[in-house]
Every structure is written in C-alpha cells, then in structure tokens.
Chains A and B, each alone.
Chain A
C-alpha cells in the first residue's frame, strides 16, 4: 500500500510540475469563463427583451402573455458541460499517454523494477495518482465555476445546488478517467508512443463527437431552428402519437446515441443542472431516479476501462518496453 501511495504521489507531482498541466488548466479556465459569460449575457438579454415587450404591451393596454424568464443559475453551465465533454476527454487522453510515455522515455521503470515493487503496485499507483489529480483539478475548477456563477448572476447558490455541483465533480472525474484508461491502455499496448495518442483520439472522435452528432442531426425535431414540432404547433401528446409511427427510425437514432459514453454523461449532468428544462425545480431524488441508468452506464464504462488495463498489464510480458 505504501508503494502505491508513493507512486501516486510521484505521479501527482510530475503532472503539477509539467508545463502541459499549466497550459491545460489555463485553457480550461479561460474556456469556462467565456462560456459562463456568454450564457449569462444571453440570459440578461432575454430578461431585457421580455421587460421591453412587457412595457410595450402595457402601454398598449394589453395583458402580458408568456412567462418571465426565470434564472436557475446551474442552467448557465450548458457550455461548461460541453467543454468537459470535449476538452476534459482530451485531458484524460493526455494524462494516460504521458503517464506511460515518461516511463518509456526515461527508462526509469527498469530502475523501479529492480526495487521490491510489483507490477500491480506500479499500475495501481499510477491510476490512483491520476484519479486524485483529476478529482482535485475538477474540484478546483468547480469552486471557480461556483464563484463565477454567483458573480455573474448575482444569485447565491442553494445547498441543493452545491450538492449538484459535487455530483458534477464526481461524474466529470469518472468521465475524464474513462478516457485516461483508454489512452493508458493503448500507450502500453502500442510500441510507438504517438500511435497510442492517435488511436485514442480516433476513439474520442467517434465516442464524444460523431455518435452524439449523428443522433442530434437525425432528430426530426432538430430539422427546424426552434424545433419542428413547435413550428407545427403540436402538443406533447400529439408529438408522441406522431413519433409512434417512426419507432424503427427512433430506435436506430437513439441506439447510436446510447453507444456514446458522452451522451450518457451529458444526460446525467443536464438532468442535475436542469439544462433539460423539465428537471428545473424537480427534487434531486426524482432526478436520480430518472438518470440512474445513464450514471450507471458511465460508471460501467470506467470499470471496463480499468479491468481492461489491469488484465492486459498482468498478462503482458513486454512491460514498459
């Protein structure tokens, strides 16, 4: 256990000292800041437009029709979730790659193996070190998000909001670590280091971008800006009855989405943050009940990734060659 802890600590120190870490963290913070700023400005503008229309209606002696835009601060995190989906995954890939690459590059592993350390301890130590790093990084970033949210929106976060942000940290850490396990695996498996990186990126491209994009593009409701069904003035029950005739198409479309780990992560977090409007104001327990399938799938992906690494590394003989 002591050895695992030592390796994990060394891994953490290496990451924090690297220039890539500083750059990655800097870029992530900048992207999140931009995203929060844009979301907040859009919301403010929505309120401004509403108030303008309201004043106009009042001056004409008419009663207001639509509801006033209501601010749920966590709704503003849509762009942030998007960046974790894309950029977080890239970070995971680089962590996995660098973790193996530096050992292959410096031959330090040969020295380590002359010491009384087992292969398992090295693997678990590296995984633990990176897990801790990602968790700490996301906790830091989330504190920054919470602060910026309150600053931008001028609204204090409730206790439930804080719990939701904590859940976001856990789910996002799991999501990023899945990509870590992918590139960790290929970095061991491939003889040429850059090949591992390119294979991991290709997988990332398919899982995080292409599958969700196909699902979204095929969605009949997305064929018209603002929504096809809205433009047809259909009620929700009518929409459901219409779509009942296209079960096979929907089965394929949602099937493609289900293949994407990113979509499972996104659905869970969008639920908690109320980015999917029907979850605004819904008790946390009910959101859990609705989203447990997506969360479980996300965790399963991580377990598969970890098991694949452990099994492969236990059996392989060209360890760190």
Chain B
C-alpha cells in the first residue's frame, strides 16, 4: 500500500510538472487540430472524388467512351485514414516529448540524489513515472477518440460498430505511442545531456517511421505518409524480397498502419504480408521492449552523478 502511495505521489508530481510545460501544449494543440481536420479532409476528399468521377464519366460520354466502374475503394470509416498517419507523425512525436520530460525532470531540477536518499524504493519512483506517462497519453487518445466520434457523427457515419472500431484504433495507437514515450524516457534517464537524449529518440523515430518502411517495402519516405500507397511489385525482385523478409518484422510503423487499416476496414495495403495477429504482436512487443529498456536504464541510473548542469 505504501509502495502504491509512493508511486501515486511521484505520478502526481510528474503530471503537475508536465502541465507546467507550455511547449507540450503546442504539440497537443497540433495533434488535436489534426484530429479534427483529419475527418474533414477525409470527408471532403471522398465527397470530391465522387464528383470528379461523375465529371469524368460525363467527359468520356462526350467522346462516346464507356466509363470504368468507380475505382476508389470507399468505406464509411475511410474518412479516418489520415488519423493513422497523424498518429505515426504527430502522436509519436508528442509521446517522445512527453516521455522525455518525465525522464528528464528530476535530473534537470537536481532532485535525483534527494529522491534516492529517502526510504523509497526506486521501483516505486519508476512506476510513478510510467503511470504519469500512460495516464497523460491515455487522456490524449481519449480526447482524440471523442473528437473523432463527434466528427463521424456530424458526417453521418456513426454506428455501434464504428464506435467500437474507432475505440480499438485509438487503443492500438496508445500502445504504439507508449513505445516512443518509454524509449524517450529511457534516453532521458541515462544520456549525459538533454540534447542527446532528445536527438537519439528522434533518430529512432526517424528510422522507425521512414527508413525501415523504405528498406522493407521499398517505400520512399514521403510516400509512406500517404494513406493510399503507390502500386509496387517490389516483391518480384529477389533482393528486395529478401530485404522485406529480413526487415519487415521490425518495421513497427508498418505493422501499426496495417493493423489500424484492418481495424478501420480501409484495407491494409499491398505491403502488408503479415496477419492481423502478427501486426498486433509486433506493436505489443515494441511497447513492451521500450518499457523494459526504460526500466533497465532507470535501474542503472547513478544517483551520485545524475544531475544535469545545463
């Protein structure tokens, strides 16, 4: 009971400190604006493409040509596909900043020595930090969920199954983002200065978001940000097929995108060669490994030399 109390105190302290970080609100603001815009963009694009199709049919009729059937695979929750990309981009960066702050606060304020001199177990401090991170991230995703549900209601595509799908989608997103938060927290525990801690976390983010999808699915970095992937038959190439076999299991962002696409019923894309269970396992494993890393780095912290003099 005492251990839990300690963790709760640490959690409350971290949340108080986080709420004072004004810059965190900048990223939060961008995230929520994009959560609202994602459905508007999705709806407007879906609506426009139907009209473009009608105009194209009329244009073809003028020259006596028959029009092919509507080529766009549109589904009710298709208007949410952009949110998958925004979670990969903004959500994970927000998580990095969040985890970084939680990890660095004590070192920045020089209270590590004091904390470790008290009769408190380091495990309880660590748990408090984890609780704070997960709680704030859960609140962020819960609010994004509400924004999405309201938007879907406005655009008339809301039903019980849609709400369940969107809830699941945000649940998976929380798991994915937590991985980045734990990773940034780990680096903030051990790196010699705050810049390196942030920089290394960003490097990993870049590798996960851009480099691994390129290596495993021959996707150009900016192409992987488009919900509709360009056609590719890269698996015909023995070299790229081999690269795919080796790197795809580690390409967490692709597994996350594929999993979310399946949940929202928008098609997992040509590059997904894994089952939904495989996608889920990779995302869960990512988060679990990042958690273990943060625990290990926190345990290895040296209280005597862990104050940042910046």
Once A31-B211, A85-B222, A197-B198 are accepted as A-B contacts, the answer to whether A228 and B52 lie under 8 Å apart by CB is yes
Judged by a CB distance under 8 angstroms, whether A42 is at the interface is: yes
Contact digits for B79-90, partner A, Cβ 8 Å, 1 yes 0 no: 000100110011
A26 to chain B, nearest CB (A): 10
Contact pick for B221, options A82, A193, A216, A232, CB 8 Å: A82
Chain A, interface size category, equals 35 or more
Q: How far is the CA of A82 from the CA of B24 in the complex (A)?
A: 27
B27 contacts which chain A residues (CB < 8 A)? 198, 202, 205
Q: State whether B225 touches A216 (Cβ < 8 A).
A: yes
Judged by a CB distance under 8 angstroms, whether A195 is at the interface is: yes
Query: Looking across the interface, which residue of chain B has its beta carbon closest to that of A52?
Result: B236
B77 to chain A, nearest CB (A): 15
Q: How far is the CA of A216 from the CA of B211 in the complex (A)?
A: 20
Q: State whether B23 touches A199 (Cβ < 8 A).
A: yes
Chain B residues within 8 Å of chain A by Cβ, number: 66
| The stretch of B10-18, B66-74, B162-170 that contacts the partner chain | B66-74
Judged by a CB distance under 8 angstroms, whether A105 is at the interface is: yes
Q: How many A-B residue contacts, CB cutoff 8 Å?
A: 179
A249 contacts which chain B residues (CB < 8 A)? 44, 48
Judged by a CB distance under 8 angstroms, whether B245 is at the interface is: no
For window 232-278 of chain A, which residues contact chain B by CB distance below 8 Å? 232-234, 238, 241-243, 245-246, 249
Q: State whether A243 touches B52 (Cβ < 8 A).
A: yes
A233 contacts which chain B residues (CB < 8 A)? 60, 65, 68
Contact pick for B45, options A198, A217, A242, CB 8 Å: A217
A29 to chain B, nearest CB (A): 12
- What are 5 contact pairs spanning A and B, CB under 8 A? A199-B23, A205-B93, A213-B226, A228-B72, A242-B52
Chain B interfacial positions (CB closer than 8 Å to A): 21-24, 26-27, 30, 34, 37, 41, 44-45, 48-49, 51-53, 55-56, 59-60, 65, 67-68, 71-72, 82, 85-86, 89-90, 93, 97, 104, 194-196, 198-199, 202-203, 206, 210-211, 214-215, 218, 220-222, 225-231, 233-234, 236-237, 239-240, 243, 270, 310
Chain A interfacial positions (CB closer than 8 Å to B): 19-20, 23, 27, 31, 34-35, 38, 41-42, 44-45, 48-49, 78-79, 82-83, 85-87, 90, 94, 97-98, 101, 105, 193-195, 197-199, 201-202, 205-206, 209-210, 212-214, 216-218, 220, 222-226, 228-229, 231-234, 238, 241-243, 245-246, 249
